[in-house]
Structure 1
Amino acid sequence: MNRIKSALLCTAASIVGTATAGAADLPLKKAVPVEYVRVCGAYGAGFFYIPGTDTCLRVSGRARFEAGTIPNPNRAQSQGDEYQSRGLLRLNLDARTQTGYGTLRAFVRAEIASRTGTLLASGTQQRIANAFPAFGQDTFGRVQNFVVADKAFVQFAGLTAGRASSFFDFYAHDYELIGSTGGSDIASTNLLAYTAKIGEGLSLTLAMEDPMFRKQPVYAASVATAAAGVGLPSQFIVGTTAPTPVILTTAGFAATGVTFLDAVQRSRMPDFVAALRYDAAWGSAQISGAVKDVNVGGFIGGSAFGTGGAISNDAAGALLAARGVRSGAQTDYGWAVQGGVKVNLPMIAQGDGFYLQGAYAEGGILYTGYTYLTGSYLSNLTPVQGASFQQYVSDAVINPITGKLELSTSFTVVGSFLHYWSPEWRSAFFASYGEVNYKRGTRQAFSLLNGLIGGATPPNAFTNPAGFALSPVLRDNAQIIAGVSLIWSPVKDLDIGVEGTYIGTSVIGGRVADQTRPITVNGLPAFTVSRYDATQIRMRVQRDF
Structure 2
Amino acid sequence: MTVLKGFLLGSAVAIITANTANAADLPVRKAAPVDYVRVCDFTGAGFFYIPGTDTCLQISATMRVEGAFINNSRLFFPVAGIPNRSTGTFGLVPGRDRDESGFLARARLGVDTRTQTAYGTLRTYLQYQIDRLQGLYFGGGPNGGVNTFANAGGNNAALRRGFIQFAGFTAGRLQSFFDFYADNYNYEGIANSDLSNNVFAYTYTAGGGLSATVSIEDRNARNLPQNLGNILGGPNNVAGAARYAGETVPDVVGVLRYDQAWGSAQLSGAYHQIQSTSGPFAGTNGQGLGKADTDGFAVQGGVRVKLPMLAAGDDLWLQGAYQEGAYTYMDSGFYFNGGFNSIAVGGFQHLDRDAVAVHLVGTQAAAYVLDKGRGFSVMAAFNHYFSPNFHDVVFGSYEQITYGNGIKNIDWTLGGLGDASQYRVGNQFLWDPVKNLEVGLEVDYLHIDQTLAHNRGQVATALPVSVSKNPDAFEARLRVQRDF
Question: Which TM-score band applies after superposition, normalised by the shorter structure?
Answer: 0.7 to 0.9
In the alignment, which residue of structure 2 is the partner of 1:204? Answer: 212
Cα deviation per residue 1:353-376 (whole Å; 9 max; x = unaligned)? 000100011111100016268677
In the alignment, which residue of structure 2 is the partner of 1:357? Answer: 319
Q: How has the CA–CA distance of structure 1 residues 137 and 538 changed in structure 2, closer, same or farther, with 3 Å as cutoff?
A: closer
Alpha-carbon shift at residue 382 of structure 1 (Å): 11
Alpha-carbon shift at residue 458 of structure 1 (Å): 2.1
In the alignment, which residue of structure 2 is the partner of 1:86? Answer: 104
Secondary structure of 1:488's match? Answer: strand
Query: Structure 2 CA distance, aligned partners of 1:142 and 1:406?
Result: 41
Equivalent in 413, 434, 438 of residue 403 of structure 2: 438
Query: Structure 1 CA distance, aligned partners of 2:342 and 2:443?
Result: 17
Secondary structure of 2:102's match? Answer: strand
Secondary structure of 2:191's match? Answer: coil
Identify the structure with bigger relative contact order (alpha carbons < 8 Å, sequence gap 6+).
2
Secondary structure of 2:221's match? Answer: helix
Q: Quick check: 1:394 aligned with 2:349? A: no
Alpha-carbon shift at residue 421 of structure 1 (Å): 0.5
Equivalent in 289, 292, 295 of residue 330 of structure 1: 292
Paired positions, count: 442
- Cα pair 2:253 2:271 within 8 Å, conserved: yes
In the alignment, which residue of structure 2 is the partner of 1:42? Answer: 42
In the alignment, which residue of structure 2 is the partner of 1:30? Answer: 30
Query: Structure 1 CA distance, aligned partners of 2:171 and 2:337?
Result: 27
Query: Structure 2 CA distance, aligned partners of 1:288 and 1:123?
Result: 35
- Cα pair 2:441 2:479 within 8 Å, conserved: yes
Q: How has the CA–CA distance of structure 1 residues 525 and 156 changed in structure 2, closer, same or farther, with 3 Å as cutoff?
A: closer
In the alignment, which residue of structure 2 is the partner of 1:182? Answer: 191
Secondary structure of 1:441's match? Answer: helix
Equivalent in 307, 311, 321 of residue 345 of structure 1: 307
Equivalent in 167, 192, 199 of residue 191 of structure 1: 199
Q: How has the CA–CA distance of structure 1 residues 123 and 159 changed in structure 2, closer, same or farther, with 3 Å as cutoff?
A: farther
Q: Which amino acid counterpart does residue 80 of structure 1 have in structure 2? A: R
Cα deviation per residue 1:341-394 (whole Å; 9 max; x = unaligned)? 1111111111100001000111111000162686779xxx99855612111211
- Cα pair 2:337 2:350 within 8 Å, conserved: no
Q: Which amino acid counterpart does residue 442 of structure 2 have in structure 1? A: E
Cα RMSD between the aligned structures?
3.5
Cα deviation per residue 1:432-472 (whole Å; 9 max; x = unaligned)? 01122211122545x5xxxxxxxxx626xxxxxxxxxxxx9
Query: Structure 2 CA distance, aligned partners of 1:526 and 1:47?
Result: 61
Q: Which amino acid counterpart does residue 85 of structure 1 have in structure 2? A: F
Q: Quick check: 1:486 aligned with 2:429? A: yes
Q: How has the CA–CA distance of structure 1 residues 373 and 54 changed in structure 2, closer, same or farther, with 3 Å as cutoff?
A: farther
In the alignment, which residue of structure 2 is the partner of 1:121? Answer: 138
- Cα pair 1:478 1:508 within 8 Å, conserved: no
Secondary structure of 1:338's match? Answer: strand
Q: Which amino acid counterpart does residue 33 of structure 1 have in structure 2? A: P
Identity of aligned residues (%): 39
In the alignment, which residue of structure 2 is the partner of 1:151? Answer: 161
Secondary structure of 2:97's match? Answer: coil
Q: How has the CA–CA distance of structure 1 residues 386 and 201 changed in structure 2, closer, same or farther, with 3 Å as cutoff?
A: closer
Q: Quick check: 1:506 aligned with 2:449? A: yes
Q: Which amino acid counterpart does residue 480 of structure 1 have in structure 2? A: Y
Query: Structure 1 CA distance, aligned partners of 2:439 and 2:133?
Result: 19
- Cα pair 2:306 2:313 within 8 Å, conserved: yes
Query: Structure 1 CA distance, aligned partners of 2:341 and 2:125?
Result: 37
- Cα pair 2:345 2:471 within 8 Å, conserved: no
Aligned counterparts, 1:32-431, within 5 A: 32-74=32-74, 76=94, 79-118=97-136, 120-121=137-138, 143-176=153-186, 178-186=187-195, 188-216=196-224, 217-221=226-230, 259-261=239-241, 263-300=243-280, 303-306=281-284, 309-310=287-288, 328-369=290-331, 371=333, 385=344, 387-401=346-360, 403-431=368-396
- Cα pair 1:510 1:530 within 8 Å, conserved: no
TM-score normalised by L of structure 1? 0.73
Cα deviation per residue 1:51-77 (whole Å; 9 max; x = unaligned)? 111111111111111111112255837
Alpha-carbon shift at residue 97 of structure 1 (Å): 1.0
Unpaired segments ≥5 residues, structure 2: 1-11, 75-92, 362-367, 455-460
Alpha-carbon shift at residue 308 of structure 1 (Å): 7.1
Alpha-carbon shift at residue 169 of structure 1 (Å): 0.3
Query: Structure 2 CA distance, aligned partners of 1:373 and 1:306?
Result: 36
Query: Structure 1 CA distance, aligned partners of 2:156 and 2:467?
Result: 39
Q: How has the CA–CA distance of structure 1 residues 43 and 382 changed in structure 2, closer, same or farther, with 3 Å as cutoff?
A: closer
- Cα pair 1:211 1:270 within 8 Å, conserved: yes
Cα deviation per residue 1:66-123 (whole Å; 9 max; x = unaligned)? 11111225583772312111111111111111111111111111111111122x2359
Q: Which amino acid counterpart does residue 111 of structure 1 have in structure 2? A: Q
Alpha-carbon shift at residue 205 of structure 1 (Å): 0.4
Alpha-carbon shift at residue 475 of structure 1 (Å): 2.4
Unpaired segments ≥5 residues, structure 1: 1-11, 125-132, 223-235, 238-247, 311-326, 448-456, 460-471, 512-521
TM-score normalised by L of structure 2? 0.82
Alpha-carbon shift at residue 23 of structure 1 (Å): 5.2
Alpha-carbon shift at residue 20 of structure 1 (Å): 7.2
Q: Which amino acid counterpart does residue 535 of structure 1 have in structure 2? A: F
Alpha-carbon shift at residue 204 of structure 1 (Å): 0.6
